[in-house]
Structure 1
Amino acid sequence: MKKLLNTLYVTTEGAALRKDGENLVAEVEGAERARVPFHMLGSVVAFGPVLVSPALMGACAANGISLVLLDRVGRFQARVEGPVAGNVLLRRAQYAASEAPDDIVRSLVMGKVANQRSVLLRHLRDHGEGDGQEPAGAISAVCERLARILQRLAAGLTGLDHLRGAEGEAAQLYFSVFGHLVRSPDPEIRFLGRSRRPPLDPVNAVLSFLYTLLTHDCRSAAESVGLDPAVGFLHRDRPGRPSLALDLMEELRPVLADRLALSLLNRRQLRARDFETRDGGGVLLTEEGRRTVLTAWQERKREERLHPFLDEKAPLGLVPYLQAQFLSRHLRGDLDAYPPWFWK
């Protein structure tokens, strides 16, 4: 359990939440683990099987505290709230901002490009010239070009097409050298360039699976604060597409997904036997491979990192929910700008 900003996140399965006077009390196996006054809470987010007493639900509704229920892997299930929650005003602000989203898009793209560059720089620090076969010079050159893109963004690059162009240019540069970061001993596990539907090699199969998991988390995060996950800023609206969830995941996927994929492959937790090739050339994870990735994903989300804006440590799994809160606060006018999450 962890309280960040004005939200209590309950991630312990089997925890019980109850009302005691004007306080929320969280218990695990009958022992009190947390006590938070209602006046200090804006929302409660519960992951997995968590018991919530009827008295607490009524108190949360009466005090304007939203109660968000997610399943074990973070998929949105329900939100319980009282009659006055302000979500209509928040969504109106979101829709209005989507008509002129340059500032938000610039922040999202800066976060993504900076984190892509950090992934490459971390590889250079960890492996350097490697065994002489690794083109460290090519990776360094891409890092320099990404730094120039960041300079353009920081200088106030405007225009949605230009911002999307900068994001696309950075992605092309990043994935042009991503294959050099894969150090699996299996010759079948190679990165042949980004491919999506279907993924055409094992590396893309892992990336696509992790991106799907991250999209679910970002969609749940958007819904947990009352945002409309279908209306984004960087991604264009399209029926059935969670554009805002895709926006939120952009700055997070280099660290949460790409780094995890590299770790699983380079540490030989995933081998060639964990993939299968379907008719048409698509490559997918086997059932055992998916279990390996899911286990590592849950472990990864428990790791804590210092949040640069909060200046407080938070589990990586809660970062999408924090960023959704920051976005909602910016849309409400409480923050001058949306603060990206930079990985260091």
Structure 2
Amino acid sequence: MKSLYVSQQGCYLSLSQEQVLIKKGQTTLNQAQLPLIEQILIFGKSQVTTQLIHTCLKKEIPILYLSRMGYCYGRVLPIQRGYRYLSRYQQVLTPLDRLLVAQAIVTAKLKNSRVFLMRHHRSHPSTNLEMAIQQLDYLITKVSCTESTEQLLGTEGAGAAIYFSAFGDCIQNPDFIFIARSRRPPGNPINAMLSFGYQVLWNHLLSLIELNELDPYQACLHQGHERHAALTSDLLEEFRAAIVDSLVIYMINRKMIDSDQDFEFIEGGCYLNEVGRRKYLQAFLIRMEEIIGVDKQPRWDSLMRQVKKFREFVYSPSRKYQPYLIR
């Protein structure tokens, strides 16, 4: 199953038998077989016919509407999907169950961050990377001692600060400089790529959570509210370094993205422009379609597996939740 991205502005999506046609004016830019589509993501201003919307609702294919910068405005889902029978199981999880899952997620994030830095330290050794790896090692040992999610978020935040203090040492392209992580708004091209990548991945995870009939607002680590699907943010933590960070460094070091031509500055923030978004999304799709693991499944499958593991945990908390770890 594939995701269909529409990032060009002013496109028109229609249905012809089982084919989704993407047109701009009289020109057909692309087409895709509807049965093979898992979700449709529309960035910015493009139109979708009522016929295609109805068919997607019948086939339970979500349509996601995002800003050009990757912010998700909302999703079109069938009405029966609004009732999540699993939510009652999520609601009765004990505080200890939630804390144990939160600890597993933070441990996985710290370990994945450490592995990511170790890989770059082997090829381009630096004192900064070595110190960050040692500090992450220490924080990993402290996770199991935390007694609340507040303490755990503090440990996670400290780990993120250590990780990003060494992130710049992974960059081998002099056109890009990274000093610190900035989010709202992203302050430079690298932060723009990271923020956009996290948002794209967040949207994918949210759709998978919905597809598995879980309540995305019932989480273990982050606090949910009406504007924050916190379970999505929980599961995202495990994949930041493995998918987004690694892809950003890959594209930068191989000069697949241009620091001058592929970004734009708007209201004090730096964002990928239309060309830059297309470059990132193309590389993202290639990365996610790579066949990995002993099961010989595309990388997409790793996202689905984690959502299903959380679903299994919700049904039976005694089975414990096993987070995603890179080797």
Task: Name the TM tier (shorter chain).
Answer: 0.7 to 0.9
CA deviation vs aligned residue, 1:41-81 (integer Å, no higher than 9, x gap) = xxx995258xxxxxxxxxxxxxxxx97424599x9654697
d(CA) in 2 for partners of 1:122, 1:156: 28
Q: Is the 8 A contact 2:216 2:232 kept in 1?
A: yes
1:216 pairs with 2:203 = yes
SS in 2 for 1:47: strand
Normalising by structure 1, we get a TM-score of 0.72
Match of 2:147 among 139, 158, 168: 158
Q: Note the residue ranges of structure 1 that are not aligned, 5 or more in a row.
A: 1-9, 17-27, 30-43, 50-65, 130-135
Q: Is the 8 A contact 1:67 1:81 kept in 2?
A: no
d(CA) in 2 for partners of 1:294, 1:111: 26
Aligned partner of 1:324 in structure 2 is: 307
The Cα of 1:322 is off from its aligned counterpart by 1.3
Aligned partner of 1:172 in structure 2 is: 161
Match of 1:111 among 108, 124, 129: 108
CA deviation vs aligned residue, 1:245-283 (integer Å, no higher than 9, x gap) = 111101111111000011111110111221122343x11
Aligned partner of 2:326 in structure 1 is: 343
Q: Is the 8 A contact 2:194 2:244 kept in 1?
A: yes
Q: Is the 8 A contact 1:202 1:275 kept in 2?
A: yes
Q: Structure 1 residues 174 and 336, CA, compared in 2 at 3 Å: closer, same or farther? A: same
Alignment map for 1:39-188 (pairs within 5 Å) = 47-48=38-39, 68-70=60-62, 77-78=76-77, 87-88=84-85, 90-97=86-93, 99-100=95-96, 101-125=98-122, 127-129=123-125, 136-153=126-143, 155-186=144-175
The Cα of 1:300 is off from its aligned counterpart by 0.9
SS in 2 for 1:227: coil
Give the partner amino acid of 1:47.
Answer: E
d(CA) in 2 for partners of 1:110, 1:212: 22
Q: How many residues align?
A: 276
Q: Structure 1 residues 299 and 71, CA, compared in 2 at 3 Å: closer, same or farther? A: farther
d(CA) in 1 for partners of 2:218, 2:258: 39
SS in 1 for 2:93: helix
d(CA) in 1 for partners of 2:234, 2:192: 21
Q: Note the residue ranges of structure 2 that are not aligned, 5 or more in a row.
A: 5-15, 19-31, 41-57, 66-73
SS in 2 for 1:276: strand
Give the partner amino acid of 2:305.
Answer: L
Q: Is the 8 A contact 2:2 2:38 kept in 1?
A: yes
Q: Structure 1 residues 158 and 229, CA, compared in 2 at 3 Å: closer, same or farther? A: same
CA deviation vs aligned residue, 1:294-341 (integer Å, no higher than 9, x gap) = 1011111111332xxxx6343222222211110010110076111001
Alignment map for 1:154-303 (pairs within 5 Å) = 155-186=144-175, 189-272=176-259, 273-280=261-268, 282-303=269-290
Give the partner amino acid of 2:38.
Answer: F
Normalising by structure 2, we get a TM-score of 0.75
CA deviation vs aligned residue, 1:148-196 (integer Å, no higher than 9, x gap) = 222223x45432222112111111100111111122231xx21121111
Taking every aligned residue pair, what percent have the same amino acid on both sides?
A: 27
Superposed CA RMSD: 3.1
SS in 1 for 2:113: helix
The Cα of 1:87 is off from its aligned counterpart by 4.1
Q: Structure 1 residues 338 and 313, CA, compared in 2 at 3 Å: closer, same or farther? A: farther
d(CA) in 1 for partners of 2:209, 2:275: 31
